[in-house]
Chains A and B, each alone.
Chain A
Amino acid sequence: MNKLVVIFGFLVMVGAQWFVPANMIYQQEGALVEGTPYKFKTRPVDPSDPFRGKYIVLNYELSSFAPVDSTLQFNEYVYVYIEEGEDGFAKATEVSPYPLDTEQDFVKAEYQYSYNQRVNFNLPFDRFYMEESKARPAEDAVRDVNRNRDSLSPVCYALVYVKEDVAVLENVFIGETSIQEFVEGLEE
């Protein structure tokens, strides 16, 4: 092969190999720096990914919305428009199969199904990667918190920064403590 072509091709490849992770970082950082933080109540469990390590899967209380105009046709995604509720946690105010012409923050969620004017969806930020020894205790801790729930016990929630169509899961908290610190506290 012509040496110039090889060099050019190599540079393009190297560029692409840098661009993809860098672009991922750029988008996520954009949301973290300029986005609005929201708290989503959650219940985590822990599986494992062969390449990316241990994580906990987060199931959110915010997983459906009603009433929805029954004439709307949902396909793959649901645009969930959110605002901070009186209790300090995120709540949905409207859902739509397409982006609406509004300044309000939204999350692009995966559409599940509709029933009785209620639309069910999965919020996209459902993975929180953790240090491998902490994922399992984290799951156990959260299960205990949720089991013995009363008005005084701490709430488990995810802190998510939202900017345009990027939503970045920054951390998971139990009460005021981050889940890593919570698990480290248990170990001590």
Chain B
Amino acid sequence: MSLRSEKELRHLVAENVISEDTSKAISDYYASQKKNSPNKLFTLFGVLGGLLIGLGVILILAHNWDDFSRGVKTIWAFAPLVVGQAFAGFALWKKKGPAWKETAAAFLFFAIGASISLVSQIYNIPGSMSSFLLTWILLAAPMVYLLRSHTATLLHLIFATAYACNVGYFNDASPWGYLVLLVWVLPLYYSQLKSHSEANITGIYHWAFGLSVIITLGAFVSGAANFGYVLYILLFGILYNLGKLPFFDHKKVRVNGYLVLGTLGMIYLLMVASFKWIWNERYFKTGDTIDLVFAGALVLITLGILFNLYRKRRLVPFNVFQYVSLLFVLIYAIGHFRTDISIILVNVLTLLLGVSAVRTGAQQGRYGMLNFGMLIITILIACRFFDTQISFVVRGLLFVGIGVGFFVANYLMYKKQIRLKNE
């Protein structure tokens, strides 16, 4: 229990708000809680130490000590592996706490990499970066469940993402292996959601999974010009709607990575798509078969989540953010016939989002939401300055207007809250 809380308790006892006994009961409760919770700081430093040592070993081995014979180098290839395995085995056998397991997992993860990279180095084994990464990830994958290690899980996710980028972006193939690697950690994520939904690490998982799929989606598709916008906005729409599921909806914004990533992604893409040059016919293509398959799958997932939300009566009150991705697909389809109409519709849709955020913010008394809406409108107007022929005077007036709007909206809300408080 913190010093400040103890001071508060003494104050409450002195003011006769709570009795001496209650104060003691509260102190005892917090003391027992502290005893049960593992030392998080210790775990964190252990993991950091493990990561740094592991990475250091890889770099030292990468120097390539060509004075040593093949035999000596081979021993060095296995030494970090043995140390890591011994640590992990000891932690498992003695049923050590998370600090041990996480540290061992962090070190063993990099020891595996060090071992196979040194063998590749000794024998000049060619092998591409992607096959090297895949071997490494697969050899480390069992740690996720055996050690029940969050470090191993996050490293698995990070390296799987790096693998997908290497295959998809640098080598122009589809990284299907990534999907398998992703599915491998899903059961752990699910059990984490079930039993430790409020833990900090679960919040980190939401962000990590969200970021990983955002980064890798582009690696699967052909990158045929404009169709990428459709795929990405569908993905952001899915993330947003996931964040709106009852399970996530009541959570703090910083924990609800899906909602934040989805919102920011959608707004960013709409801003980009609100420019005229994006809709140039030269870049306007439907995409390859794989792109269409992905688009179809993403639409189905969107509809599935929306249906789920509908059944749980989560679609009222109407929230336009939840339908942005589907509306954008429609706008994109219209663009095949009339790009000018699509451009107008994208601008209208973005404006609508801004207004709706302002409205929600005002109704629910949330300053953050209100100003987020205002920000969307401001950025949209600022963007229009680059590709429309409006006189400087009008642009100036628009900016003054929006500035006044910021003040007025915040002031009105402040007044409203004061009024509500007084009632």
Q: Which residues of A contact B (CB under 8 A)?
A: 1, 6-7, 9-10, 12-14, 16-18, 20-21, 24-25, 28, 49-55, 124-132, 134, 168-170, 180
Known: A7-B93, A9-B142, A21-B116. 20 other contacts (CB 8 A): A10-B146, A13-B139, A13-B143, A17-B85, A18-B81, A20-B116, A21-B81, A24-B120, A24-B123, A24-B125, A25-B119, A25-B122, A28-B125, A52-B62, A52-B118, A52-B120, A53-B117, A130-B66, A168-B123, A169-B124
> Contact: B64 with A131, CB < 8 Å?
yes
Q: 1/0 contact trace for B103-125 toward A, CB 8 Å?
A: 00000000011011111111111
B: interface residue count bin: 35 or more
B78 to A: closest C-beta gap in Å: 7
Number of A-B contacts (CB under 8 A): 102
Partner of A51 from B62, B66, B142 at Cβ < 8 Å: B62
Q: Could you tell me which residues of chain B, from 136 to 172, have a CB within 8 Å of some CB in chain A?
A: 139, 142-143, 145-146
With contacts A14-B85, A17-B81, A53-B121 known, is A24 near B64, CB below 8 A?
no
Q: Which residues of B contact A50 (CB under 8 A)?
A: 62
Of chain A, the residue at the smallest CB distance from B81 is A17
Q: Which of B112, B115, B118, B124 has the most CB of A within 10 A?
A: B124
Of chain B, the residue at the smallest CB distance from A7 is B92
Of chain B, the residue at the smallest CB distance from A169 is B124
> Contact: B146 with A9, CB < 8 Å?
yes
Q: Could you tell me which residues of chain B, from 49 to 64, have a CB within 8 Å of some CB in chain A?
A: 58, 61-64
Q: Which residues of B contact A (CB under 8 A)?
A: 58, 61-66, 74, 77-78, 81, 85, 88-89, 92-93, 112-113, 115-126, 129, 132, 135, 139, 142-143, 145-146
A79 to B: closest C-beta gap in Å: 17
Partner of A13 from B126, B135, B146 at Cβ < 8 Å: B146
A121 vs B139: C-alpha distance in the bound complex, in angstroms? 32
A128 vs B132: C-alpha distance in the bound complex, in angstroms? 16
A50 vs B129: C-alpha distance in the bound complex, in angstroms? 10
A16 vs B143: C-alpha distance in the bound complex, in angstroms? 12
With contacts A21-B115, A129-B124 known, is A13 near B66, CB below 8 A?
no
> Contact: B132 with A51, CB < 8 Å?
yes
A170 to B: closest C-beta gap in Å: 8
> Contact: A131 with B66, CB < 8 Å?
yes
Of chain A, the residue at the smallest CB distance from B77 is A21
Partner of B64 from A12, A13, A54 at Cβ < 8 Å: A54
Q: Which residues of A contact B145 (CB under 8 A)?
A: 1, 9
A86 to B: closest C-beta gap in Å: 27
B235 to A: closest C-beta gap in Å: 29
B394 to A: closest C-beta gap in Å: 53
A9 vs B116: C-alpha distance in the bound complex, in angstroms? 21
With contacts A131-B64, A132-B64 known, is A24 near B116, CB below 8 A?
yes
A107 to B: closest C-beta gap in Å: 12
